[in-house]
Amino acid sequence: MARIFNFGAGPATLPEPVLRQAAEEMLEWHASGMSVMEMSHRGKEFVAIHAQAEADLRELLGVPPSYKVLFLQGGAAAQFAVVPLNLLRGKRSADYVASGYWSKKAIAEAQRYCKVNVAASSEDAGFNHAPKQERWKLDPGAAYVHYTSNETIGGVEFHWIPDTGDVPLVADASSHILSRPLEVGRFGLIYAGAQKNIGPAGLTVVIVRDDLIGQAAAETPAVFDYKVQAEAGSMHNTPPTFAVYVAGLVFQWLRKLGGLKRMEEINVAKAALVYDYLDQTEFYASPVAKEDRSRMNIPFSLRNTALEETFLKQAKGRGLAQLKGHRSVGGMRASIYNAMPMEGVKALVDFMREFERNHG
Over the stretch 70-124, which tens digit does the pLDDT of each residue have?
999 999 999 999 999 999 999 999 999 999 999 999 999 999 999 999 999 999 9
Considering the chain, tell me which residue range(s) the CATH 3.90.1150.10 domain(s) occupy: 258-359
The yes or no reply on domain 17-256 and CATH 3.40.640.10 is yes
Specify which residues 169 forms β-bridges with.
145
Contact 297, 175 (CB under 8 A): yes
Q: Are 172 and 151 in contact (CB under 8 A)?
A: no
Instruction: Please name every residue paired with 298 in a beta bridge, in sequence order, or none if there are none.
Output: 334
- Single pTM value for the model: 0.97
Give the closest residue to 245 by CA, choosing from 74, 39, 4.
39
- Which contiguous run of DSSP H or E holds residue 196? none
- Quick check: bond before 131 cis, omega within 30? no
Length of the chain: 360
Cβ atoms < 10 Å from Cβ of 274: 22
Q: pLDDT tens across 28-79, in order?
A: 999 999 999 999 999 999 999 999 999 999 999 999 999 999 999 999 999 9
Say if strands 150-151 and 332-335 run parallel, antiparallel, or are unpaired: unpaired
CATH T-level fold of 258-359: Aspartate Aminotransferase, domain 1 (3.90.1150)
pLDDT of amino acid 1: 64
Which residues are known catalytic residues? 102, 172, 196
- Domain span(s) for CATH 3.40.640.10 in the chain: 17-256
Cβ(185)–Cβ(132) under 8 Å? no
Q: At 93, phi and psi to the nearest 5?
A: -140, 160
CA-nearest of 352, 316, 285 to 6 is 316
Give the bridge partners for 119, in sequence order: none
CB neighbours of residue 141 within 10 Å: 11
Residue ranges of the chain with per-residue pLDDT less than 50: none
Of the candidates 148, 241, 147, 234, the one whose C-alpha atom is nearest the C-alpha of residue 202 is 241
What CA–CA distance (Å, rounded) separates 50 from 14? Answer: 19
